[in-house]
């Protein structure tokens, strides 16, 4: 799937929070200030549809937009792309980077190790 711009990602996050998708106005109301103009957001949602992240349903004179990709799936894909492009497709390299940058503590790493070991024992 195509990479998203920040406005597209912001709009998609709002859609994920709406139980049955939403109209442009619903998404606009869910965005933090400063909000884009209505027409700009409508174009953003159409771009998300073109990229395969949402589908639209015509209801009267309006369109309701419904996510086709879950937040979890998007997160997995985004992280996978990041690791592939910047860390030689190695999650170990990613964790090493955070450790070297003091973004993760030894305690955090111990918790991660326990989590991995508990999954192995299942």
Q: What percent of the chain has pLDDT over 90?
A: 79
Q: Residue 3's pLDDT is what?
A: 86
Radius of gyration of the chain (CA): 19
How many CB atoms within 10 Å of residue 106?
8
Q: Give the pLDDT of residue 43.
A: 98
Label residue 90 by pLDDT band (50, 70, 90). Answer: very high
Residue 40 host element (H or E): helix 38-50
pLDDT at 122 over 80: no
Residue 46 to residues 55, 79, 94, 106: CA-CA distances in angstroms?
9, 24, 34, 45
pLDDT for the residue numbered 71: 96
Reported confidence tier of residue 2, pLDDT bands at 50, 70, 90: confident
32-89 per-position pLDDT tens digit:
999 999 999 999 999 999 999 999 999 999 999 999 999 999 999 999 989 999 999 9
* Model pLDDT, residue 120: 79
Give me the pLDDT at residue 119, please.
84
């Amino acid at each position: 799937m195509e990479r998203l711009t920040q406005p597209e990602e912001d709009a998609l996050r709002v859609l994920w929070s709406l139980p049955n998708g939403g109209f442009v106005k619903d998404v606009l109301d869910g965005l933090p200030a400063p909000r884009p103009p209505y027409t700009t957001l409508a174009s953003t949602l159409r771009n998300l549809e073109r990229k395969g992240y949402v589908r639209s349903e015509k209801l009267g004179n309006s369109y309701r937009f419904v996510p086709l990709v879950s937040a979890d799936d998007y997160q997995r894909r985004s992280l996978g792309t990041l690791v592939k492009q910047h860390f030689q497709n190695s999650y170990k390299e990613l964790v090493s980077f955070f450790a070297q940058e003091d973004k993760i503590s030894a305690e955090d790493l111990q918790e991660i190790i326990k989590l991995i070991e508990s999954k192995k024992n299942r």
